[in-house]
Amino acid sequence: MHPQIIRRQPGDCPICGMTLVKQNDTHAAALKDVQLENLLKPTNQFVVSDIPVISVSQKSADIPVKALGTIAYNTSAAGTISARVTGRIEKLYILYKFQLVQKGQKIMEIYSPELLTAQQNLLFLLQHDAENTTLVNAAKQKLLWLGMSTEQMQQVMQTRKIAYTVTVYSNYTGHIHEAGNENMAAPVSVVMKDVTLRTKELSIKAGMYVEKGQTIFTVFNPDKAWVLLNIYASDLSLVKKGASATITPETAPDKAFKSTINFIEPFYRNNSKTLTARIDFNNTTRHIPIGSQVNAVIAAHIANAYWLPVNAVVSLGVDKIVFIKEDGGFRARKIVTGVTTNNEIQIIAGLTSTNQVATNAQYLMDSESFIKLKN
């Protein structure tokens, strides 16, 4: 029988004489279903291809997170120099802002009528009621509370002469900052713009009056410092309190050191798009200048995460997609990704371990506009 002979009714083949057999169209229908179904799908949803595929891999990863930062004073270790009496500054021993002072160093001399009255009261008791130890001791204690040192008080008692001024000493070692300086609480690079102006005059001068309890100076110890690191939002999930970090000062690369993150500030500072991670460190031997810029590498760890090669993921701006394998081709699917490291990208949601995706997603794209996502 010759298959090219087709009749609308039963009969014989005019060539060989065999009886014609009814045509069976099951094969044609199946061929259409199998071979044409995928070709008839919208081109913005389905791509017919036979490129290699890959599945997500599950593993843990150590990720180095890079950050920039600044050396700053440790404000929790700062000390204050205050006036214990109301009075007038007779002499000021501090010459300029940011002057280095030592513990026990003279800061100023204050004249106070209240202090004179307290000394007169002590001398009167010593002269007329020296046996009344309760009153004498109370008078001595008052002088100490008013800021007079034990040595000064002993001098008054021995000479029976009133000291018209009381000397204010520093109880701390460090750099002097004027109280009320808005940058003083966070003396980072902004403050250091003024550090080179070593002779910048103080706003407080001899002859000015101070109130009891008024904070006059704040002393910051450069040996007790912070590293303040800027952490971007994309890295927040990786950087944790207690994470190890390697710090390299830009001005002294040979003084690199390792430490751990002590605190992550839970807020954004003014005009900043980063959170601040804080590292305490001892600057006694390193002598890294306050305000120095540093580079940091933070050791982060991700446990049991899903990963794909970066070439398997396409970024459409806000959305990230992969091409998931289906019969005869690939369909675009939106996924949620995490960090990228070592040419691999973390898959947070959108895929399972059984899914297979195109190893090179970019190969399946003509332009971003044709993609219609399937979540």
Q: Are strands 79-82 and 244-249 parallel, antiparallel or unpaired?
A: unpaired
Amino acid at 15: I
Cβ atoms 112, 164 nearer than 8 A: no
Q: Which fold has domain 65-74+222-301?
A: Elongation Factor Tu (Ef-tu); domain 3 (2.40.30)
Q: To the nearest 10°, the Cα dihedral for 271, 274, 279, 283?
A: -50
Candidate from 34-38, 88-92, 217-221 with smallest mean pLDDT? 34-38
Cβ atoms 264, 277 nearer than 8 A: yes
- Say what the pLDDT of residue 372 is: 58
- Angle among Cα 94, 98, 101 to the nearest 5 degrees reads 55
Q: To the nearest 10°, the Cα dihedral for 365, 368, 370, 372?
A: 100
- Residue 280 pLDDT grade (very low, low, confident, very high; cuts 50, 70, 90): very high
Cβ atoms 281, 262 nearer than 8 A: no
CATH 2.40.50.100 domain extents, the chain: 78-220
SS3 of residue 322 by DSSP? strand
Q: Is the pLDDT of residue 195 over 70?
A: no
Burial of 79 (0-12, 13-18, 19+ CB in 10 A): middle
CATH 2.40.420.20 domain extents, the chain: 46-61+303-370
**Does an H or E element contain 154, and which?**
helix 150-159
- Angle among Cα 84, 187, 246 to the nearest 5 degrees reads 130
Pairwise CA distance, residues 236 & 306, whole Å: 19
Question: What pTM value is reported for the model?
Answer: 0.67
The CATH number given to 78-220 is 2.40.50.100
Amino acid at 70: T
HSE-CB at 186 with a 13 A cutoff on CA atoms is 9
330 φ, ψ to 5°?
-135, 145
> What is the total residue count of the chain?
375
% of the chain exceeding 90 in pLDDT:
23
| Residue linked to tokens 């940011």 | 98
Stronger pLDDT, 261 or 356, i.e. the higher one: 261
- Say what the pLDDT of residue 118 is: 92
Class of domain 46-61+303-370 (CATH, top level) = mainly beta
* β-bridge partners, 166: 110
Which pair of structure tokens corresponds to residue 330? 């690939």
What are the tens digits of pLDDT across the range 209-258? 999 888 999 999 989 999 999 998 888 888 889 899 999 999 888 889 99
Provide the 10 A C-beta neighbour count for residue 217: 25
What are the tens digits of pLDDT across the range 293-308? 999 999 988 888 888 9
Positive or negative, the Cα torsion across 31, 32, 37, 39?
positive
Please give the average per-residue pLDDT across 101-119, as a whole number: 92
What are the tens digits of pLDDT across the range 39-68? 445 555 566 666 788 888 888 888 888 999
* β-bridge partners, 59: 305
CATH 2.40.30.170 domain extents, the chain: 65-74+222-301
What are the tens digits of pLDDT across the range 151-168? 889 988 998 998 888 889
% of the chain exceeding 70 in pLDDT:
83
Pairwise CA distance, residues 311 & 359, whole Å: 7
The DSSP result for 232-279, as a single string, is -GGGTTT--TT-EEEEEESS-GGG-EEEE--EE-SSPPTT-SSEEEEE
Stronger pLDDT, 374 or 196, i.e. the higher one: 374
- Residue 31 pLDDT grade (very low, low, confident, very high; cuts 50, 70, 90): very low
Provide the 10 A C-beta neighbour count for residue 207: 9
Q: Which residues contact 39 (CB under 8 A, 6 or more apart)?
A: 48
- Say what the pLDDT of residue 185 is: 36
Pairwise CA distance, residues 207 & 262, whole Å: 44
- Residue 70 pLDDT grade (very low, low, confident, very high; cuts 50, 70, 90): very high
Angle between helices 133-145 and 150-159 (to 10 degrees): 130
